[in-house]
Amino acid sequence: MSSLLLLTFLTVLAFLASASTLDFRYHDNPEIEQYLLQVNASNSDITHLYSVGKSIRGQQLWVLALGVSPHRHTVGIPEFKYVANMHGNEVLGRVLLLQLINDLVRGYRNNETWSLRLLNSTRIHIMPTMNPDGFSQAGTHCMYSQGRFNYNGVDLNRNFPDAFSGLRRQQQLNEEKREPEVRAVMDWLKMESFVLSANLHGGALVASYPYDNSNGGSELVGGASVSPDDDVFVHLAKVYSHNHASMHNGGRCDDNRPFLDGITNGYQWYPLSGGMQDYNYVWAQCLELTLEVSCCKFPPAKELPVHWTDNRKSLLAFIQQVHLGVKGRVLDGSGVPVQNAVVQVKGRSNMCPFRTDRHGEYYRLLLPGNYSFTVTYPDHEVLTEKLTVPYGPDKYSALRHDFLLRSITTTTGGAPGSPISARPTSARPTSARPTTACNHTLQQEGGGAAVTRPTWTGLAVALSLAAGLRSLLD
């Protein structure tokens, strides 16, 4: 029996060592799945592994959430995400995000301040591959190879609803016509109130920001398609490029023009219809960048350590920007948080107004300055307040401010002029109905992420046993 216990103990130690070691190479899809399972089992207090759906060929679209409350949203803690490999042959992002996971967990376990502050203040969601089927077919040519599209031969970054293609005037976004991987991300965005995001690509070295498209309206300025939050987007793009080892120099790849400061407006670079970053911004009120992180779409494996060193500081600094601006809740006349209250900032006319989520929360990424906010909600007086917004990332928290609304009193029955409350007191957040074209946040329900969980046998049992033994050893 003692020999069996010793063998078990040594096996567990070997497993824990392998789970905490991540070598620099291209891991295939089963290896990524195994690594995520290992990290989750060994660090269940700060990680939560879930799937947002499946690819056409049935491969899970895994996401690892990291934070001190990884399983569900905490009021006041912003949600952040990174997505990589939506083009299957653009592969460096897979490596960078796995290394980022490893770095965050290692730093937290070693009580390193940078990791503790990030995970204590932010819930970080990481999807290493959005297009596992494309990766399975990808060639290794630096620029021209198969694998960009999903298994149906569709470019996932051209398959999202597009605000400049008349879809805002339709009664629905025709989600059933989208590719499974795109539908999965669209559903994911309905279940989590993401504040800031980036998707990682390859083939250039630049940070690109919305808009990617235009219909020649007032947004088109000097060849760029300018969003209402252009100042914030430019700042975010510069945060990434200037923390990168060379992106900020604006150097060009073989077939690209140079980019000033290593950033570009997406449309000014080239028009793109059906892109993911515009969809995030317009319908999910999540500010997203497209990060082109390498000139070569499939860099040689020997170069991976250098690419990680070049991007590590940028990846971390960008997450920290989720604490820009102001955050808080909107409360009705009874002090109850309300969903779908419109929170507008003067001078920023968003296509779909920013609204409070199911927790009654709003998050507004803004640069330091003075701003006028207008809050509207049915049966309540319009509220206008001016706020002075400081720079929050250094303190890992945006300015906290709750808006308290006043109910409109009405008269009905009884003596003329006798007031009654327009809304009863409620123990749960109440909700208003948004317009049909901008109904994204209305569909948020439940806590945490909407996930499909496959049955884990064998490996999962071993991982659970290893995690339990580790807790006894620590």
Catalytic positions are 292
SS3 28: coil
DSSP code for 169: G
Place of tokens 């009580």: 111
- Could you give the angle at which helices 276-284 and 180-191 cross, rounded to 10 degrees? 30
Burial of 1 (0-12, 13-18, 19+ CB in 10 A): exposed
As a whole number of angstroms, the distance between CA 179 and CA 200 comes to 19
> Hey, which residues does 197 pair with through a beta bridge?
81, 288
Q: What residue type is 398 in one-letter code?
A: A
**CA-based nearest residue to 98, from 310, 304, 289, 277:** 304
As a whole number of angstroms, the distance between CA 166 and CA 23 comes to 47
As a whole number of angstroms, the distance between CA 435 and CA 186 comes to 18
* Phi–psi pair at 47, nearest 5 degrees: -130, 155
As a whole number of angstroms, the distance between CA 87 and CA 92 comes to 11
Tokens at 89, concatenated: 């042959």
Q: What residue type is 83 in one-letter code?
A: V
The angle formed by the CA atoms of residues 150, 153 and 158, to the nearest 5 degrees, is: 75
Tokens at 24, concatenated: 């620099």
DSSP code for 14: H
> Is residue 444 within 8 Å of residue 190, measured between CB atoms?
yes
Q: How many residues does the chain have?
A: 474
Characterize the bridge pairing of strands 369-376 and 383-389: antiparallel
Q: How many beta carbons lie within 10 A of that of residue 236, not counting itself?
A: 25
The angle formed by the CA atoms of residues 341, 343 and 346, to the nearest 5 degrees, is: 150
Beta carbons within 8 Å of 369's beta carbon, 6+ residues apart: 388, 389
Place of tokens 């995520």: 36
